[in-house]
Structures are given as C-alpha cells and as structure tokens.
Structure 1
Amino acid sequence: MIRKINRRTVIRSAGALAGTAVAMPFVSRRHALAADPIVLGLPTSQTAAAGVADDLDHLNGTTLAMEEINEAGGILGRELKLFVTDVDKLSPESCQQAIAACIDAKVHAISNAFLFVPIPAMDESAKYKCPYVQGNTQRAATEAFKSNPEKYAHIFQTDPSEVHYGYTYPLWLEHEEAQGVWKPKNRKVHIIQEQVAYCQTISKAAQEAIKKRGKFEVAEVTDIQFPVQDWAPVIQKMKEVDAAAIMVDHWVAAEYAAFCKQFIADPVKDSLVYMQYGPSQPEFLTLAGDTANGFCWSTVLGVYADEKGRAFREKYKKRFPGIMGLVYTGNGYDIVQYLKLAWEGVGDPDNFKAVCDWIRDHPYRGVCGYMDMKNELQEAAHFPDNGYPISASELEKGMSQLYVQVQNTEHKIIFPNEISESKLQPAPWWG
C-alpha cells in the first residue's frame, strides 16, 4: 500500500484542502462568470487505506470536465466549483459524515466514485435531496431505492450493479471457447473470494449463473482476506484444484500485481485467469509490469475504445500524463456533463426535484456508455443481456461491461464483440 501514500499527495495537490470549496488550476478567466458558483460535492478518499486510486481517477475526470465547462463560459453563466471532502469508504460513519459535509457546504449536487457502505450515505443525503449521482456499483443500494423510491428519488447509480460481474462471467467463458481462442482443459471453475460484501455478492452471483447455464461447474471456492500478504498458499490451492478457469474476486490493484508476480513464477498451466476490476487502476500495470501479460479482468463501468472514448482518453492523458485509469476517470467526467445538461435543461440548479426529474427523463450517452435512469432500480442497464435485471439487448441501450486482457503491457478490450479492440491471446503459461 506504499504507493497509495504517494497518490494521496497527488490528490491533495489536485484538490487543495479537503472539506473546502476548491477552484481547480488552469481554469480560464476569459469569460465573465456570475459571482454565485454552482458547487459540486465530491466525497474523495484521501487518507484511508482503500479507494484512493479510484477516487483520484474520479477527481481527475471531474476536474477535466469542470475546466472545459468553465473555459466555455460555465453553466447558465455561472462558474462550476468543486467541494472536496475526505471519506473512508469502508466506514459507515465516515460515509455519512462526508455527505453531511457536502450538505453543510450547500452543494447543488453530489458525485462520488463508490462507497463500500452506501446506505448510510444515502440516508444522510435524503435529508437534503440534491441530485446524488455516483458509480457505487451495488445492487443492495439500488434495491433500497426500489423499496422506497420517494425517499431515494434523488439518487442515481450511473453504472450497472456488481451482480453483473458474476452473471456475465460464464457468458464470457462460453464466448471465448466458441471463438476457438481458448480450449478449456476441463469444465471446472475455481473462485477465489474476498470477504467484503461487495465481493461476496459477486461470488454468489457467479456461482448462481454458472449453475444456471450448465456449461461449467464450480469446483472450489477459496476465501481470502484483505490485505493479502502472501499469495503462495492461494496459488498452491489453485494448483490442487487445477481448474480450466480461475476467478479471483478481489479489488486491490497492488495486491493483484503481487499475485501476478507470484503466479507467473509457479503458474497453473493452461488455466484462464480472470481478476475482477482491480487491474483497471493505474498502479496495477506500474507494479506488475510484464508479469501482467495474459491476465484478464473486467469492469461494468469503463471508458470505451470507440471514437468518443478515444477522444476522451487523448485529452485526459494530455491533462494528466501517465498510465490512465479506465473506469472512474470517464465516470467522473460523464457525471459532470450529465449534470450540466440537467441544470441547463431546468434552468435552476437550486430546484433539486426538477433536476432529478430531468435526469430520470433524459438518458445520456457518455464516454463510458449509455445511462438511462428511468427503471425500477434507477441504475444503468447492463450490456450484454445476460438474462438478469437490468440488462440491455443493444449496445446503445445499456452500459457495456468491458472484458480486458493485458497484451504487451497494455489493456485491450476483448469482449463483447461490439466494442472489442482485440481477441483473447494465449497466456504465457499456456501450452
């Protein structure tokens, strides 16, 4: 976790002091903007052990959108400013306090990457009801909206929920086999699961979907506990099970990088190894280097590699040089652009209800795909359709899950076909 300390320093330099309204650097003053700014609240992990990398990505994407908007004359003639406050994603009290700080600052909307304990934050935000637009990726949170839509009407999850990681996993395995790029040595799947509720939900969904589809079988489920200090016992268990497909259901980039290094030294031959989400964080490639080649991962929320996505990647890298995170960079950017359209459509950012109604009635296609909030869970629909709610049968009616393989130390989208950049390549430990 040493690198996270350095990333906190970057966040402080980008976001100034936590808990204060900040005008980010490089904002043009050529346009005469009204003195009364529109303020967006950003609970951002800066001092906790978890989530700093994702929150830096989210802050950077938000910053980029804010700078572009202010450069072009603001929103309704008013400058957009950010209110950044610290949060510990694993602490219910901290999540609640971060939202309370935003309310005290009288923000016009709240945006965050994700919180592991979203319900306390949602309950706190219900006291204020400004638009709360985020990428929490949790079905428990959207089910809370479904059970009480009046209380949580102002809360929008801009990505599909984590259950889709599990539901889509066997679909992906079947696709790679059908393509002829992977010939499974057996029909076994070995799931390695972390203990936070988020990962447990994914594991259960995967087990359910594998059984339902019937093409593979779960041979073993092995528990791990954050932080993982040594992967050797886990890899030994992998070798004993010797499954054709291995799903590592975890979320920490640095620990995934350590896993890759240890696995490459003593691999499970001919196994297709998948790691859920964490490799999307920039430090994964920095730490893993060449040992990352051949491993696969996915995200239900990510920057596409289409024309719109490539243009965003280019300008993001110009503004924030280095390895780019592929998830919350785009989500932070998309949320601001979505809110801008809503504020302009309503004409009054202080009319929270009208802005929320506008968001519900107007889908938005961003760099991470299509967001339509008008459904029973108020979350983005998942593509491809995996037979579970909420799914879309067309790419431009949902947000595509991106299955990615590291090829030549670069992330390449390999599934679904509608948005792929490459095909699955043989891993170094195959054959």
Structure 2
Amino acid sequence: MLLATRLALEEINDQGGIAGRRIELVTADFDVTVPSAVRAAFTELVEQEVDALTSGYIGPQDVAHEIAADYGCPYLHAATLDSMVSRVAEDPERYGGIFQVCPSDTRYGPGFVRFLTSLRDSGAWRPESDRLMAVQGIWPLGDLGRSEMAAAVEAGGWTLETVSEVGMSDDAWQRTARQVRAAAPAAVLVGHYFMPGSLAFLRELLADGPPILPYLLYTPSIPSFREELGPLSDGLLWATVTGTYSDHLGRSFAARFRSLHGVSPGRSHAGIAYDRARMIAGAWSQVDDPRDHRRVAKAVRTTIHRGVNGAYYLADPGQAALAYPELTPDPSIGQAHLVYQIQDGHQRILSPTPYSDGRFRLPPWYGTGGREGDAPRPARTGTP
C-alpha cells in the first residue's frame, strides 16, 4: 500500500501538486488487530494535523472511525466491513467524512457459492459431493454475508458447514485444515485476510486427502504468497471485492509501479492505495481550501472516479463502493467482484465479464476426483 501511495503522490507532485503545493505522506505503523495500537496510531496522525486519513484492513475498525469522526477530516479506508458502512448510513452528520473505498465483505459468502454453482453447472468441475464448508478467522466486525450465502446454498442444491472464530496462530489453521479434510467437502471458503494463517491452512489441507477446492479471500493477491507456497499455489482460486483489473489502466499502473520500485504490485490493496490517493487529490483540487473538510468530503462523495481497481461511486448512504454485478448492473459505477485463479504463476481473472482474461483449470494437485466432464451437468435447485 505504501509503495503505491508513493507512486501516486510522485505523479501528482510532478504535475504541480495541489495548487502548486506538494502533497506530503505521513505514516504510522501499528498492529491492525489491537485496539490500543489503532488508537495510538490514529491519534499520532491527528496530532500532526493531516488533511486526510487512509488505511487498509483494521480489525477494531470502530476505533479508527471514532477518532476520524472526532477529528473531522476525510477518511478513506478499505476495511470491507458492512457494519461500518451501516454506522455511516445511520449517522451521516457524524460520519459524513468517512468513506469505504471498496464493497463490503458480505459479498464474499454468496459470491463463493454462486461461482462454484456456475462452475459445477457448466461442467468445468465435477465435485464428488454436494457439501461446502466456510471457515472464518477472528474478525469481530466481519460477516461474509452468511444469510445471503445460506440462500445461495439452498438455491444451488448444496449443504454448508461453517467453522467460526479460528485463531490467528498457524496451529489453529492447521487444526482447522485437518477438520476440513476429514469432512471432505467439495470446496472450502477460507475467510481469513492474513497470509501466515492462510499458508498454514493450505499446506496442511493439500498435503493429503480427498480432492477439495480451496477458495481464498485477498491473501493470494500479495506477490510473496505465491513465492511462499511454491508449486501448490498453481490452480488456487481466490476472490476480492476490489482487485486491479487486467485492462489498459491496470497494466499501465503495474508497469509504472515496477519502473519506480523494481517489484510488481499486488492485485488488490496496491491498486486501492493508488486510487484513493488520486481520489483525495482530485477532491482537494475542486475546493479553495483543502482544510475545508466538509467541502472536500462532498467532492469525494459526488465525484465518480475510474481507477485501476474499477469505478468509485461513494454517494450511497453508507458511502461505500458498489460491487459489480451484485449491487449494481452498471460497471461504470461499481468495482468488479473478481474471482482469480493462479495459472502457471500468473493471476488470471475468471469472473465477471467483461474483465475475465482466463478460463478455469483444474489444479494440478486436485487428483482424479472432480475431473472435467464431457458434458455440462444440469442445474439443480432445492435442498438435497
């Protein structure tokens, strides 16, 4: 995130900054899972009288919200938490300067089921069972869209078992992987946003046992994820509600990032960081005084921004980006809920159109069960 923000600010400052003034970046490191650390970091930034706040994932996101609301400057975060979107919608006077620059995590659960249903019904995947599993780490404000996921499970003719509040340690995720392997579902949603636990889970799950499709969230977007997992990463499915597209804008961003930093950007939060820096700079350029926080927030709210991660329309009551195609059929005002597969070391977008640049392949480690069929399997509805 930091490298992408620096790229955006370098480009903006090279063009004259904002009304001739350069934009400076102030940072604060903290443990995103500890409320006291979040409070200390945000207090440190506020005491430096910054003109905008930004952040990625934070577990105790409510702590950051309250400090930002008290301070009053625009705050652009990417916590993907529907509970925080609701907080903004319920009290726009207090939280009117807070924006979630991505859709919420409630898209992930139903998206997992619908994608696998489509994959099964197309004949591209022949699962050995009608069971799905979802495992979720400790993320107190997260949801993953459980109620909508249950409806999608019933409509698709699946059954679903969930495992909640898996701890942060590698041991906890290894134990959970053994539990999943023993249950032998057709596929498992790994609802965890941290790389160590995700890697521990996958290494244990794929070490032995029946063919199970793991479907991860976000973590495979990090370039070092593939390096750490090695050949086992080939064929992995993963999703994000805000990912960098493979179009001209996305490729150009990646090329400029590599030119400046000598490494490739990830496929999610790097794009968010770049886009939100561009968004807040654009809002500052529309007002006479960048410290007029209400006018700057209004500019963020009323301007549609097309970035490398899609379109940012933040004028809904909760001031969060819209998911395409679930929350809007119009991709010009939404961010695509992207499903990727790692293929031969490359990230390929499988869904949705028009952003896909690849087709599903069975992972090389998947085994003989679930092999691609000769004909599509007919759709099924109802409970099994």
Question: TM-score with structure 2 length normalisation?
Answer: 0.90
Rounded to whole Å, the distance in 2 between the matches of 1:76 and 1:103 is 23
Q: Distance in 1 between matches of 2:164 and 2:299?
A: 45
The answer to whether the Cα contact below 8 Å between 2:176 and 2:201 also exists between their aligned partners in 1 is: no
Match of 1:251 among 169, 183, 193: 193
Amino acid at match of 1:136: A
Aligned to 1:290: 231
Q: 1:205 to 1:309 in 2, by over 3 A?
A: farther
Cα distance in 2, alignment partners of residues 302 and 383 from structure 1: 12
1:192 aligns with 2:129: no
In 1, the alpha carbon distance for the partners of 2:187 and 2:220 equals 18
Counterpart amino acid of residue 183 in structure 1: R
CA distance in 2, matches of 1:128, 1:263: 46
Task: Give the secondary-structure state (helix, strand or coil) at the position aligned to 1:322.
Answer: coil
Q: 1:78, 1:232 → 2: CA distance? A: 51
The aligned counterpart of 1:112 is 55
Q: CA deviation at 1:251?
A: 1.8
- Conserved? CA contact 2:214–2:237, under 8 Å: yes
Answering whether residue 301 of structure 2 is matched by residue 360 of structure 1, we say yes
Indicate if the aligned counterparts of 2:137 and 2:168 stay in contact, CA closer than 8 A.
Answer: yes
Judge conservation of contact 1:303–1:309 (CA < 8 Å) in 2: yes
Alignment match, 2:11: 68
Residue identity matched to 2:219: G
After TM superposition, give the deviation of residue 164 of structure 1 in Å.
Answer: 0.9
Measure the CA separation in 2 of the matches of 1:209 and 1:140: 20
Q: Which residue of 2 aligns with 1:26?
A: none
Aligned pairs for 1:34-49 (under 5 A) are none
Moved more, 217-226 or 346-355: 217-226
Structure 2 match to 1:302: 243
Count residues in correspondence: 367
Bigger mean CA offset, 172-181 vs 410-419: 172-181
Greater RCO, CA 8 A, separation 6+ = 2
SS in 1 for 2:286: helix
AA aligned opposite 1:397: I
Flag the 1:227–1:236 CA change in 2: closer, same or farther, 3 A: closer
Counterparts of 1:8-27 in structure 2, within 5 Å, are: none
Would the aligned equivalents of 1:169 and 1:206 in 2 still touch at CA under 8 Å?
no
User: How far did residue 100 of structure 1 move?
Assistant: 1.9
Is residue 2:278 matched to residue 1:337? yes
Alignment partners' CA distance in 1, 2:92 and 2:182: 48
Structure 2 counterpart SS, 1:85 = coil
Moved more, 371-380 or 109-118: 109-118
User: Can you give the 5+ residue segments of structure 2 that lack an aligned partner in the other structure?
Assistant: 369-384
Tell me what 2:169 maps to.
227
Deviation at 1:198, TM superposition (A): 4.9
For residue 122 of structure 1, report the CA deviation from its aligned partner. 1.2
SS of alignment partner, residue 189 of structure 2? strand
1:395 counterpart residue number? 331
What percent of counterpart residues are identical?
Answer: 27
What SS does the aligned partner of 1:127 have?
Answer: helix
1:400 shift after superposition: 0.7
More moved, 273-282 vs 150-159? 273-282
How far apart are the structure 2 equivalents of 1:100 and 1:115?
Answer: 15
Structure 1: stretches of 5+ with no match in the other structure: 1-57, 386-390
Give, in angstroms, the shift of residue 175 of structure 1: 2.0
C-alpha RMSD of matched pairs (Å): 1.9
